Amino acid sequence: MLRIVSRGRKVQRCCWSEQRRWLSQPGVAQKQGNDVVLGVPRLPSFDYSPPPYNGPAADEILMKRKKFLSPSMFYFYQKPLNLVHGKMQYLYDDKGRRYLDAFGGIATVSCGHCHPEVVEAIVEQTKRLQHSTILYLNPAITDFAEALASRMPGDLKVVFFTNSGTEANELAIMMARLYTGCQDIISLRNAYHGNAGATMGATAQCNWKFNVVQTGVHHAMNPDPYRGVFGSDGEKYAKDVEDLIQFGTSGNVAAFISEAIQGVGGIVELAPDYLPAVYKSIKKAGGLCIADEVQAGFSRTGSHFWGFENHGVIPDIVTMAKGIGNGIPLGAVVTTPDIAEVLTRHNYFNTFGGNPVCTAAGHAVLRVVEREGLQANAHTVGSYLKHRLIALKDKHQIIGDVRGRGLMLGVELVTDREEKTPARVEIVHVMEQMKDLGVLIGKGGLYGNVFRITPPLCFSKDDADFLVDVMDYVMSKM
């Protein structure tokens, strides 16, 4: 049975269960006759107080940033936040105000800001030793490599550590070229793989990234179920890769690289049946398949530990970073012994890749993810959050699409659902208002009109409700 619910001067309908949820929040909703009048959503309770901040103010930091840091750096919001403290899924500014971090999972954090076990692992290892691991032995790197390899399918058992996702993807591309003896790399339009020569070449036209032209890099049609010309027919998109192999590379290809879900590109899920068809074509041409798990890996998609597992494929090389170290600069490449052997013919090394402090942090992250059931939580809370966002789409015409898996979700805003006109201005307004109400959220996509929802994996259903309620509140007042 439906009841009428009022939010300011807007009117909406909701079921009894949603009405009970609103009324259970003191001060947020009031019963007035047959109506429930909704006020401003409130942050879920959290029993924690950050230490006092005595550092410089935001204006002073911004002035120094403009004077001494790269002019290419950008920031969210008209008045950037000065964030000085974090605890699990929450962040605190210099005034002590708490914000729900719905974006930090992609930035770096998987198991929560300042998770005590990860912090302890970092501190304890720093007290003992921080050194290069090129010429000496240390148990931290081998123990973590073993634990990481145990999470991989097939013969993916050899680990190379790096300092970032960019380094990991650069190394993967180089290994593929050396192993196959070919130079041609196929990547997807709208992909994002990093900020160095080869990875920027493979990144193509994604969002704000400028395209770095690199010989031998080919960009395949993006298998985008929402905006792509073939809708959700993955095999039709895969035919474009076959054509590139035949006519663009003369039948020889070093590698195909892709994300399982495009992150910076706007949380775009690849069309069903796409990756199996492409992997088959690449392997037939003698190339390798590289899975970029920098954003989708480490349980973020919920149903599986790795994003590529959702597609039923096993790559030849897997790259990872970001959530692997919960904020510590750490990346990795995992491949087979046969492919790894190619680097013995070259003098490859990485001075700080796999250093004791970073690998101690990475190993702690794996333990936390497993012990606290964060993969299951990503699936349960992510499914609940997606369900609520889909319901919000039915209510607000500005929402054109809701997509993603687990706690890697996207909400695309459009001014016209039929034409799918990107709501570039509107998304900035909603984002600013959500920040003012206590929710920090990301955005991306080719047109910059997609909310990227990628919180720490400790995100709760109460957090999900607050996020959606704030988005609903802001959109209702537009």
Sign of CA dihedral 299, 305, 308, 309: negative
Q: Which residue has the tokens 């400028």?
A: 210
110 falls in which pLDDT band (50, 70, 90)?
confident
Mean pLDDT of all residues in 65-87:
89
- Regarding predicted confidence, which is higher, 61 or 14? 61
Most confident of 130-134, 135-139, 274-278: 274-278
Residues in CB range of 314: below 8 A, 6 or more apart: 153, 154, 156, 308
* Mean local confidence (pLDDT), 52-58: 94
Is residue 277 over pLDDT 70? yes
- Per residue in 173-214, pLDDT (tens digit) is 999 999 999 999 999 999 988 877 777 777 765 544 456 667
Task: For residue 21, name the pLDDT band (cuts at 50, 70, 90).
Answer: low
User: Is residue 105 very low, low, confident or very high in pLDDT (cuts 50, 70, 90)?
Assistant: confident
152 has a pLDDT exceeding 50: yes
For tokens 């509107």, what's the residue?
A: 426
| Domains 66-107+373-476 and 116-371 equal at CATH topology level | no
Residue 13 confidence class, pLDDT cut points 50, 70, 90: low
Residue 155's pLDDT is 96
Domain positions in the chain are 2-38, 66-107+373-476, 116-371
Q: Give the residue from 451, 438, 441 showing the smallest Cα distance to 93.
A: 438
| Mean pLDDT (whole number) for 210-228 | 85
- Inform me whether the pLDDT recorded for 222 exceeds 70: yes
- 353-370 pLDDT, tens digit per residue, is 889 999 999 999 999 999
CATH of 66-107+373-476, one of 3.90.1150.10, 1.10.10.10, 3.90.76.10, 3.40.50.800: 3.90.1150.10
Q: For residue 412, which of 389, 433, 434 has the smallest C-alpha distance?
A: 389
Average pLDDT score, the chain: 90
Mean pLDDT score, 225-245: 96
pLDDT at 425: 96
* pLDDT in the model for residue 10: 47
In this predicted structure, the answer to whether residue 149 has a pLDDT above a threshold of 60 is: yes
- Residue 459 confidence (pLDDT): 96
pLDDT value of position 134: 77
Q: Report the pLDDT averaged over residues 269-286.
A: 97
Beta strand residue intervals within 251-321, DSSP E: 255-259, 261-262, 268-269, 288-292, 317-320
What number does CATH give the domain 116-371? 3.40.640.10
> Averaged over 306-320, what is the pLDDT?
97
The whole-angstrom distance between residue 456's C-alpha and the CA centroid of its chain comes to: 10
Percent share of the chain, pLDDT over 90: 75
At residue 5, does pLDDT exceed 60? no
The amino acid sitting at 126 is T
Highest mean pLDDT among 23-27, 106-110, 138-142, 400-404: 400-404
Q: How does residue 9 score in pLDDT terms, banded at 50, 70 and 90?
A: very low
Question: Which has the minimum average pLDDT: 62-66, 413-417, 453-457?
Answer: 62-66
Output the pLDDT for position 345: 87
Buried b or exposed e, range 188-224, using 16+ CB within 10 angstroms? bbbbbbbbeebbbbbbbebbebeebeeebbbbbbbbb
Count of beta carbons in the 10 Å neighbourhood of residue 357: 24
Nearest to 100 by CA among 115, 88, 82, 84: 88
The rounded distance, in Å, linking the Cα atoms of 112 and 124 is 19
Section 262-285 average pLDDT: 96
| Predicted pLDDT of residue 213 | 64
